[in-house]
Structure 1
Amino acid sequence: MPCPDFDRRQIVAALGGLALAPLAPLAANAQAFTPGQPIKVLIGVPAGGTQDVLTRAIAEQVRDTLGPLIVDNRSGAAGRIAVEAVKTAPPDGRTLLLGTASMMTMFPSAYRQLSYDPIKDFVPIVNAARFELALVVHKDVPANTLAEFIGWAKAQGDKLSFASYGAGTPSHFLGEMLNRAAGLKMVHVPYRGSTPARQDVMGGSVPVYFDTVGGAQQMLPSGRVKVLATSGEKRSPLMPNLPCFVESGYKDVVATAWFAYYAPLKTPQPIVDKLRAEITRAINTREVRQQLLQNGMYPVADNSEALLKTMREDTARWAGIMKAVNFQAND
């Protein structure tokens, strides 16, 4: 999944698509978005992460048109608590989900008994942002390049562990893909979110961590970690001096992920259209784009049809990877 290029043509295309939304029904349902009536956005991880950054940045731009967007962090069960809460919420546009690639495309293959269907139980609104991941190591790891790391990691055998920000996430499977591609035996250590994993890799409790590019950028100034490679199909514009795994000879070690907004099933179409129009407008503002790029995310603003296509393609891809590594999450 290559990271998209973002230019004037993409912005024009995204905004142009909004003209297709029916204007009369929007006006008829405008009372549902009177400023002062908050919209809760449920996020399945603890506060302080990039998902909060994304939603708060958008909230600043839609306050006068949609009302306040309130971040509601519902961490636990790898984010499934938040998903289930939105599934059963009233379909009035006042409770939304910030869904991740993990929740909406990986978990259907990871869990034998998933309590929701990402496609059948939700209304997709807009794919907001995409991001890549990076290989982060503690400063004491005796490697300054990916090749040096591979050589060192092979010598460690199964005594070397790597952290992820959660089992069954892109962070987890990037490590597993590198294991398979490079013949490594690193042992997976899942964390409950990125914050504790970052603390431990900076502290040296775990030597290797696969983080988002944005998270890796935040840790670098500490001087406690090194970043050795990124996971897109080409170099990350945010870390252009670092190679990606693909150019280093590991063509199958590719992992990008995304954040998208969803409403409960049966949310009226005019409300969905209004939400999509305003969130898309916000994403395409200079202020939001700058904040996303500064935090390692690329603005996307895909419509619901494009989001559904991404979901189906990613679901099939991750299912194949999970089968290859024989992964099954604990229900």
Structure 2
Amino acid sequence: MTYVLRPAAAGDLAALYEMAKLTGGGFTNLPPNRDTLTAKLERSAAALARTEDRHVDDLFVMVLENTATGQVRGTCQIFTMVGQHWPFYSYRLGTLTQVSKELNRTFRADMLTLSTDLEGASEVGGLFLHPGERAGGLGLLLARSRYLFIRQHRARFSDRTLAELRGVIDEAGGSPFWDGLAGKFFGMSFQEADEFNAVHGNQFIADLMPKTPIYTAMLPEAARQVIGVPHPTGRAAMRMLEHEGFTHDSYVDIFDGGPTMVAQTDRIRSVQDAVDSRIARIGPVGGGEVRLAAAGRLIDFRAAYARIETLSGGEIAIDAEAAAMLKVGLGDTICHVGRQ
């Protein structure tokens, strides 16, 4: 397989912009706005250039490149610490139980409360794979490579990691959740609010969103039905996150009601199960298995599928194509984890 994940560079702007136009809306981290994307690339470049391992507010933008053609066919992002420039808002799902002795009834009301509970967590997001490439495990390569990057730079990340999944959006690009709740307080469509948030941040949420809890029973049925439900195209991503150990407990996105998945960083499966091995042989690998492998730090980070065979003493053999994509040689150490 000729695909490798690497840090994005300024020259990837055009490819990122073209992919952003294909998302169909709701991808706050990948807006079809050149200035915003340029700012993201500049911020990522600054983070990659900083060599000291301190936990500060960084963003890393990655791209998936087909090394045979040079085309960029996917992208993802990793935030080391959310909620530093402006509050990181979520709705927290909760239940209020009340008892009436006169009626001999117990009432349980589901509620949405504006929350910044997840402030300070790391975030994996902005994942998009070109529609023409959604086969052959490339989605898994994009998603799981982020966790190997976190493992390789663990001191830069928080003890908790989150992932926001896009919520349900109708064929016209609207959000039933937004229309039933937040839209009533903002005087703008979901698409307008989503675009504004992507470019300017969400301080306007703090300015205009009601701070009192919202009883879900007061929302339209269409809005209630999509609370915590991922967009149909995100169901596979939700399963991948669950496989990694992420859970959807009580948080949803304030714009579209999509689920926010959370995991303890050190318990993410790809972080926990990955191992480091020294390369003793490069060439044809008859045995072994195809694994997800990564090498290098910061700007030199690379991740790809590789055929790896464990040799005596714990060293490994790796196929030549993968070694070339990872830019490693004999005696180098790589990080790798099972493909499934």
TM-score range relative to shorter protein: under 0.3
| TM-score normalised per structure 1 | 0.24
Identify, as 1 or 2, the structure richer in strand.
2
